Structure 1
Amino acid sequence: MPTLETLLLQLNSIKVIDDTIPYSQYIPLDLSISNLDLSQIDIKNPNDFEIYIETYLKKNNAKVAFGGYNEVRNLYKQSSLFGDGQVNERNIHIGMDLWIKAGTPVLAAIDGIVYGFDYNAGKGNYGPTIILKHNLENHFFYTLYGHLSIESIENIEIGSFFKKGQQLATLGDSTVNGGYSPHLHFQIIKNIEDHFSDYPGVCNQKDLKYYLKNCPDPDLLLKIK
Structure 2
Amino acid sequence: MYASITPFDLVPSNYITLDFSKENKELEDVNFEDIESFNAYVFDKLKAENVKMGIGGWLENRVVYNQISHFQGAEQRSHHLGVDIWMKAYSPIFCPENCTIHSYKNNEGNGDYGPTIVLKSLAANVYYLFGHLSLESIKGLQNRKVIKKGEHFAEVGPYPENGNWPPHLHFQVMNSMEGKMGDFPGVCAASELDHYKTICLNPYPFLDLPELD
TM-score class, shorter-chain normalisation, is over 0.9
Alpha-carbon separation, structure 2, partners of 1:215 and 1:26: 24
Shift of 1:78: 3.7
Measured against aligned partners, the alpha-carbon deviations of 1:52-75 in whole angstroms (never above 9, x if no partner) come to: 111111221211000000101122
Aligned to 1:67: 56
Q: Which amino acid aligns with 1:66?
A: I
Give the superposition deviation at 1:115: 0.6
Match of 1:202 among 170, 187, 199: 187
Q: For 2:68 and 2:29, how far apart are their aligned partners in 1?
A: 20
Please say if residues 78 and 124 of structure 1, whose CA atoms lie closer than 8 Å, have aligned partners that are also in contact.
no
Distance in 2 (CA, whole Å) between partners of 1:154 and 1:13 is 26
Separation of aligned partners in 2, 1:176 and 1:59: 27
Q: Deviations over 1:15-36 (max 9, x none)?
A: 2121x44523111111112111
Q: What's the TM-score once normalised by structure 2's chain length?
A: 0.93
CA deviation vs aligned residue, 1:69-120 (integer Å, no higher than 9, x gap): 0101122234433233x5x211100100000010100111211000100100
In the other structure, the counterpart of 2:36 is 47
Of the three residues 163, 170, 173, the one matched with 1:178 is 163
Per the alignment, in what secondary structure is the counterpart of residue 66 of structure 1? Answer: strand
Partner SS state of residue 115, structure 1:
strand
Distance (whole Å) between structure 1 residues aligned to residue 199 and residue 28 of structure 2 = 32
Q: Does the CA-based 8 Å contact 2:86-2:167 persist in structure 1?
A: yes
| Structure 2 segments unaligned to the other structure (5+ residues) | none
TM-score normalized with structure 1 length: 0.88
Partner of 1:142: 127
Change (3 A) 1:218 1:22: closer
1:36 corresponds in structure 2 to: 25
TM-fit CA distance, 1:159: 1.1
C-alpha RMSD of matched pairs (Å): 1.4
Amino acid at match of 1:41: V
What is the CA–CA distance in structure 1 between the aligned matches of 2:200 and 2:177, rounded to whole Å?
10
Q: CA deviation at 1:134?
A: 1.0
Looking at structure 2, the residues matched to 124 and 58 of structure 1 have their Cα atoms a distance apart, in angstroms, of 25
* Separation in structure 1 between the aligned mates of residue 50 and residue 69 of structure 2, nearest angstrom: 36
In structure 1, distance between residues paired with 2:69 and 2:176: 25
Aligned length: 209
Matched, 1:193 2:178: yes
- Would you say the 8 A contact 1:65–1:100 is kept in 2? yes
Q: Does residue 1:97 correspond to 2:68, yes or no? A: no
Percent of residue pairs identical: 35
Note the alpha carbon deviations across 1:180-207, whole angstroms, 9 max, x for none: 1000000001111110110000011111
Runs of 5+ unmatched residues, structure 1:
1-11
SS at 2:125's partner residue? Answer: strand
Kept in 1: contact 2:5–2:93 (CA 8 A):
yes
- State the distance in 1 between where 2:69 and 2:19 align: 23
